[in-house]
């Protein structure tokens, strides 16, 4: 792993110790579990009904799960149960230098918690990945069974993003992380919903379109007009959540 990864790829934020369940109004269950390589991780589980779909949420490269609380609340109001967790070194999770293989193992541990501890069947699990988390969720989908995969603000690879931002210069050679989502998608036969904002200046919509074109059917492409990289669910509003619900319902009924 390149030392530059710690500056350019991963931007974890430390935990703020507050009563987040009371402040959010959500039934947040605090969960401690282990990555598949033994790193101790923290997450929140919110449950609606026992037979409802469960979203396993792989977040992006910055912040921690606290900054996803508002979004989590909307998903819960949709009737989804959600397991939102922090990677190594993010939030309350064990301080352990994040790296690509490590994040993949963190997601594997989160999945194993759902299936082995909570006894949730794979056909109820929907994998969701935003930005960097899209590559994490897709890698998980190559290793574990799930009903559907939702990718939001995703990119083909670190190389593609670096070339866009640095005018084609091979800056990615200095980084250890690759996150080659485009290598995973042709292998995946489960239903996929790929979402992108048309004003995303961090991951331009052209890169999101490449992700969609690479993906193996069945797949859907959903553009949010006026949305940038970090506000898709806000700009998309009720129509966005309806689309998520329709996609998930259809995927689970197959």
Distance between CA atoms of residues 47 and 52, nearest Å: 8
What's the gap between Cα 53 and its chain centre? 16
105, 71 contact by CB (below 8 A): no
Q: Which two tokens stand for residue 119?
A: 């006894």
Q: Which two tokens stand for residue 217?
A: 């059917």
Could you write out the DSSP letters of every residue in the chain? --TTHHHHT-EE-B---S-HHHHHTS-PEEEEEE-TTS-EEEEEEE-S-TTS-EEEEE--SEE-GGGGHHHHHHHHHTT-EEEEEPPTTSBTS------HHHHHHHHHHHHHIIIIIS---GGGEEEEEETHHHHHHHHHHHHS--SEEEEES--S-HHHHHHHHTTT--GGGG-S----HHHHGGG--S-EEEEEETT-SSS-HHHHHHHHHHSPSSEEEEEETT--SS-HHHHHHHHHHHHHHHHHHHHHH-
197, 222 contact by CB (below 8 A): no
Which residues participate in catalysis according to the annotation? 131, 200, 229
């Amino acid at each position: 792993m390149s030392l530059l990864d710690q500056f350019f790829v991963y931007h974890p934020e430390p935990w703020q110790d507050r009563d987040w369940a009371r402040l959010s109004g959500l039934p947040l269950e605090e969960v401690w579990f282990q990555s598949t390589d033994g790193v101790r991780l923290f997450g929140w589980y919110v449950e609606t009904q026992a037979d409802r779909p469960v979203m396993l949420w792989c977040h992006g490269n910055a912040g921690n799960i606290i900054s996803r609380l508002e979004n989590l609340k909307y998903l819960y109001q949709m009737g989804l149960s959600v397991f939102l967790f922090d990677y190594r070194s993010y939030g309350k999770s064990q301080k352990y230098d994040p790296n690509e293989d490590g994040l993949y193992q963190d997601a594997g541990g989160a999945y194993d918690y759902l299936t082995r501890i909570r006894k949730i069947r794979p056909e109820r699990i929907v994998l969701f990945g935003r930005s960097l988390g899209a590559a994490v969720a897709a890698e998980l989908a190559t290793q574990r069974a799930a009903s559907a995969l939702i990718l939001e603000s995703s990119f083909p690879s670190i190389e593609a993003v670096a070339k866009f931002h640095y005018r084609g210069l091979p800056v990615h050679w200095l980084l250890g992380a690759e996150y080659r989502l485009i290598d995973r998608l042709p292998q995946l036969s489960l239903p996929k919903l790929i979402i992108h904002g048309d004003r995303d200046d961090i991951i331009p919509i052209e890169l999101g379109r490449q992700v969609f074109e690479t993906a193996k059917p069945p797949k859907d492409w959903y553009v949010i007009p006026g949305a940038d990289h970090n506000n898709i669910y806000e700009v998309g509003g009720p129509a966005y959540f309806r689309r998520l619900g329709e996609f998930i319902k259809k995927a689970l009924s197959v």
